[in-house]
Amino acid sequence: MKVMSMKEAIAAYVHDGDLVAIEGFTACICFAAAHEIIRQGRRDLTLCRMTPDLIYDQMVAAGVARKLVFSYLGNPGVGSLHAIRRAVEQGIPAPLELEEYSHFGMVGRYLAGAYRLPFFPLRSYLGSDLPGVNPHIRFLESPYGDGPVATVPPLRPDVAILHAQRADCQGNTHLWGLLGVQKEVAFAARHVIVVVEEIVEEAVIRSDPNRTLIPGLVVDAVVCEPYGAHPSYVQGYYDRDNDFYLRWDEISRDQAGTRAWLEEWVYGVQDRAEYVARMGLSTWERLAPGQAPAAPVNYGCYGGSQGRSR
Amino acid sequence: MTEYTQAEMMIVAAARALAGVRTVFVGVGLPNVACNLARRTVAPDLELIYESGVYGARPARLPLSIGDPTLVSGALSVCSMADLFGLYLQRGLVEVAFLGGAQIDRFGNLNTTVIGDYDRPRVRLPGSGGACEIAIHAQQVFIVMRLSRRAFVRQPDFITSPGHLGGVGQRTALGLPGRGPQVVVTDRCTFTFDRTSGEMQLDSLHPGVTPAEVQAEVGWELQLAPDLRETQPPTAEELRLLREELDPQGVYR
């Protein structure tokens, strides 16, 4: 049985020292999983994410991480990630190792991991100082005589945690809106936890197979966690809580304020359901989007004999 | 004459630089507004591309970030980031891309990585994001930055995204497909790049600004364009679009 609680999924698949990827580009960032990892007291994690965002700022502040692998270290649309900067610039609460790429470099690393290739070739990094500070970014003379190409090594997380709108009990997952690198990470990782707003019947998934970004084939655990991506958003379900992204800029300015927030909203709640309840209905009403359904498509029914209608 | 802020002048100048452009890679913050203003004024066929995987966005509100859900609803296409960087950017489909940074040098090389030493940074900045490959592949790069001596430096602490490197011709020698930085829009003036040297030159002063004021904020000996001009102030219509439709809350005033 793949369907389990967040507590069970984190206990089963996230271990001290693991390489962990909680992805989702601005959208579908599974804060619920991050908070459970903090509550369970994991240590020495290497955290991969293109954009560490508030989620890794909180995890670094809580002391679960040893290293970050990333490509953009900011509070999107707001400014700095203060907890991560504190760790990097002052070693508070502990020093943090950085391994950085560009976005395309991170995408390429996941792709190589997913395709089980030894590296991914891309035209980037020439003229940049990045290869000088990251020895994993290398250059290769094209075997077809077209000059040098940059290469990045495969990235294969021990576990990927991916949030989406809906999945069936087997983890066949529908995702729409920004796709980020969710599919690539799912295929690259050794284990996959899918976290969804709703668990649906397999028939719902089969009614729209083009929308299945992640097949249950690569999924180990399915967790149903409504509002599990807050304060990020899930397309069609809730908006980004931009007030919180702005407030985090204040909360995270010093370690004491950050700790106080973690005490109240992470250590101080049992699980996501309690967090959701404590946030209150007014939050969820404020973040509810209007309706904009897609036009339906006809996949066609091909069960009958072709000649019959002639 | 209508009053306007330096930020509004900057947005308007950036928008006007997009005249006739079809595809623009939109950056975070102020370029967001500039691109949306351009689509309503000088570039009606402009399609907005966001690194989050969106092509042809029609945002119904001022996007809060480059991954705002308003960019998805009503877009022409939403794709994976692998497709966005591989099929749109590396394929060469981006005409203009907006970039910015904490530091820039006279050749338009940009630093968004660190101030100080890389291993012991005084300030740890966000890093590349997509900027490194955007700077390499976009056919043209437009830079938007506030003018300040801390930012316009002789020697950046780190080059995240290549401009004209050490001078004209060096991009071609390295095989970088895009033509590199073409314009730098600031709150006080606009720079272009000298075709023979690849060096930044003062092209247009916003109303009321003198060359000496600009020189005071630039860490190298400033070159003036032969036909140095004064920037046309924002029109009433540009200001109306900005204030009433694109940024009614005045985030970028």
Residue B54 has pLDDT above 70, yes or no: yes
- Mean pLDDT (chain A) is 96
Residue A91, burial from CB neighbour count under 10 angstroms (0-12, 13-18, 19+): exposed
How distant is the Cα of B127 from the closest Cα of chain A, in angstroms?
5
Shortest CA distance from B177: residue in chain A: A123
**How confident is the model over A195-244, as pLDDT tens digits?**
999 999 999 999 999 999 999 999 999 999 999 999 999 999 999 999 99
The CA radius of gyration of chain A, in Å to the nearest whole number, is 21
Q: Which residues of A touch B125 (CB under 8 A)?
A: 73
* B111 belongs to a structural domain: no
pLDDT tops 70 at residue B25: yes
Shortest distance between the Cα of A161 and any Cα of chain B, in A, equals 17
Which run of H or of E encompasses B48? strand B47-50
pLDDT, tens digit (0-9, with 9 covering 90-100), for A146-195: 889 999 999 999 999 999 999 999 999 999 999 999 999 999 999 999 99
SS3 B58: coil
Q: Do the Cβ atoms of A40 and A65 come closer than 8 Å?
A: no
Residues of B in contact with A71 (CB under 8 A): 127-130
Is B131–A102 a contact, with Cβ atoms under 8 angstroms apart? yes
A71–B129 C-beta distance less than 8 A: yes
Work out the average pLDDT over B211-227. 97
Is this prediction's ipTM beyond 0.95? yes
**Helix (H, G, I), strand (E, B), or coil: what is residue B82?**
helix
Q: Over 70: is that where the pLDDT of A310 sits?
A: no
Q: Touching check for B197 and chain A: CB below 8 Å?
A: no
- Which range marks the domain in which residue B80 is found? 6-100+131-145+161-246
Nearest CA-CA distance, residue A308 and chain B, Å: 39
Q: What is the pLDDT of residue B253?
A: 87
Which are the contacts of B113, defined by CB distance < 8 A and separation ≥ 6? A100, A129, A130, B125, B127, B128, B157, B158, B160
> Once rounded to an integer, what is the mean pLDDT over residues A275-295?
97
CATH of the domain at B197: 3.40.1080.10
Instruction: Give which of A15, A52, A50, A9 is closest to A32, Cα–Cα.
Output: A9
Model pLDDT, residue A121 = 98
Cβ contacts (< 8 Å) between B137 and chain A: which residues?
123
Q: Residues of B with CB below 8 A from A126's CB?
A: 136, 162, 174-176
What is the rounded distance in angstroms from the CA atom of residue A211 to the CA atom of residue B160? 36
User: Is the CB of B53 less than 8 angstroms away from the CB of A180?
Assistant: yes
Interchain CB contacts (distance < 8 Å): A and B: 161
pLDDT score of A103:
98
Evaluate whether A66 touches B119 at the Cβ level (below 8 Å).
no
pLDDT, average across residues B13-26 = 97
CB atoms < 10 A from the CB of A159, how many?
24
pLDDT score recorded for residue B71: 96
CB-based contact B101:B110 (threshold 8 Å)? yes
- Contact criterion met (CB below 8 Å) for A72 and A46: no
Predicted TM-score of the model (pTM): 0.96
Total number of domains constituting chain B: 1
Q: Check if the beta carbon of residue B74 is closer than 8 Å to that of residue B2.
A: no
Best mutation target among A124, A137, A232 (most B Cβ atoms within 10 Å) is A124
A291 contacts on B by Cβ (under 8 Å): none
- Comparing A89 with A68, the larger pLDDT belongs to A68
Crossing angle for the helix pair A272-279 and A31-39, to the nearest 10 degrees? 120
Q: What is the pLDDT of residue A307?
A: 65
What's the pLDDT at A78? 83
- Considering B47, B51, B95, B238, which one is annotated as catalytic? B51
Amino acid A265 reads W
Residues 101-160 of B with CB under 8 A from A: 113, 118, 121-133, 136-137, 158-160
The sheet with strand A138-141 has its strands ordered as A120-122, A148-152, A138-141
Contact A225, A199 (CB under 8 A): no
**Is it the case that residue A136 has pLDDT exceeding 90?**
yes
Are the beta carbons of B52 and A25 separated by less than 8 Å?
Answer: yes
User: Could you tell me which CATH number the domain at A6-101+156-286 has?
Assistant: 3.40.1080.10
Q: Is the pLDDT of residue B132 over 80?
A: yes
Whether A309 shows a pLDDT value over 60: the answer reads no
Q: Is B51 a catalytic residue?
A: yes
Report yes or no on B126 lying in a domain. no
Quick check: is B113 in a domain? no
